A and B are shown apart, each in its own frame.
Chain A
């Protein structure tokens, strides 16, 4: 369970960003989360509330967009989704591939600032 320390990093990052815009608070933090990030959405949402307590982020919302794994298929020679996390094969042709293009994201993409 490392989601609490991740949540605290999100709070730090968001507050730093808000301050750089001169905003006194934050309403929403938008996060992109890939299945290979090693972070569980539910645990992160739970931790986020705790991490926000007694910080300028208290009362803010974390909106998580879960994004799929995208690989470069060596057979199709194109961007493809995979069958599953347990089967890293091209969803179109079934070729196994470890060339991961997307899916490790753990990224704050945007914020709604309180003005």
Chain B
């Protein structure tokens, strides 16, 4: 027997299990005709307020539902339930991000065919969620005007993993002297070509444009699925 250490080639993705599950979820969403959107941001950037407003506005015309990740509480689900949309809390315990398996488990008992939009609110964290594909069609990264324009440069990976940037709390922009041009420049530097939306869940500014964007994307993905 050869006493020397033996070198073997492996070539396996460490997150393969998650990636495989995410692909299965994406296919399930596509087949059911539901547009799945995830939200990532730092804690306190307004994900839940934004989602509550979105669910409330969409609820009258579409079938919408949400999954919300949180480390310890069910507060967000309670807040979102006021929108009348079905909401399920995913309590992650000590885990600082959502994984595809958590999404899959949370969807148990829900009929995706009865939905038009599914929102997945990730745990407030700008680092860890970037590594995990959840099978979503679109990932929104939120940046509130109170956070500072250089957030994209500090957390380039999460911005790079997202499809659309949403600047939130626009009603506070003047009060905190938010430099929109600088924020836009920084987002474009880490993710060239990224679409940027600006809105306020509180005043409703920009929400109509956001909903129009969602509706267009849903139509586009449905017609692509029909081909």
Chain A residues within CB distance 8 Å of chain B: 1-2, 5-6, 9-10, 13-14, 17, 21, 23, 27-28, 30-31, 35-39, 85-89, 96-98, 100, 106-115
Closest partner residue, chain B, to A43 (CB atom): B127
Q: Does residue B13 face the partner (Cβ distance < 8 Å to A)? A: yes
Inside 8 A of A108's CB, which chain B residues have their CB? Answer: 10-12, 14
The docked-state distance in angstroms from the alpha carbon of A109 to that of B14 is 10
Per-position binary interface string of chain B over residues 5-48, scored 1 when its CB falls under 8 Å from any chain A CB and 0 otherwise: 11111111111110000000000000000000000000000000
Q: Does residue B219 face the partner (Cβ distance < 8 Å to A)? A: no
- Take A5-B95, A88-B191, A96-B193 as given contacts and tell me if A35 and B14 are in contact as well, using a CB distance cutoff of 8 Å: no
The docked-state distance in angstroms from the alpha carbon of A97 to that of B193 is 8
Asked if A109 and B10 sit within 8 Å, CB to CB, the answer is: yes
Asked if B96 and A98 sit within 8 Å, CB to CB, the answer is: no
Asked if A38 and B13 sit within 8 Å, CB to CB, the answer is: no
Q: A109-B10, A111-B7, A111-B8 are known; give 5 further A-B pairs, CB within 8 A.
A: A6-B131, A17-B10, A31-B14, A38-B131, A87-B189
The docked-state distance in angstroms from the alpha carbon of A100 to that of B159 is 14
Interface size on B (CB < 8 Å)? 37
- Take A85-B157, A86-B153 as given contacts and tell me if A2 and B131 are in contact as well, using a CB distance cutoff of 8 Å: yes
Consensus secondary structure, chain B interface: mixed
Closest partner residue, chain B, to A35 (CB atom): B157
Q: Does residue B156 face the partner (Cβ distance < 8 Å to A)? A: yes
The docked-state distance in angstroms from the alpha carbon of A88 to that of B193 is 11
- Take A88-B189, A88-B191 as given contacts and tell me if A10 and B14 are in contact as well, using a CB distance cutoff of 8 Å: yes
Contact of A110 among B10, B157, B189 (CB under 8 A): B10
Inside 8 A of A39's CB, which chain B residues have their CB? Answer: 131
Asked if A85 and B2 sit within 8 Å, CB to CB, the answer is: no
Asked if B5 and A115 sit within 8 Å, CB to CB, the answer is: yes
The 3 closest A-B CB pairs, nearest first, are A96-B192, A38-B130, A2-B128
Inside 8 A of A21's CB, which chain B residues have their CB? Answer: 6, 8
The docked-state distance in angstroms from the alpha carbon of A106 to that of B11 is 10
Closest partner residue, chain B, to A23 (CB atom): B6
Contact of B7 among A2, A9, A13, A112 (CB under 8 A): A112
Asked if A13 and B14 sit within 8 Å, CB to CB, the answer is: yes
Closest partner residue, chain B, to A95 (CB atom): B192
Inside 8 A of B160's CB, which chain A residues have their CB? Answer: 36, 88, 98, 100
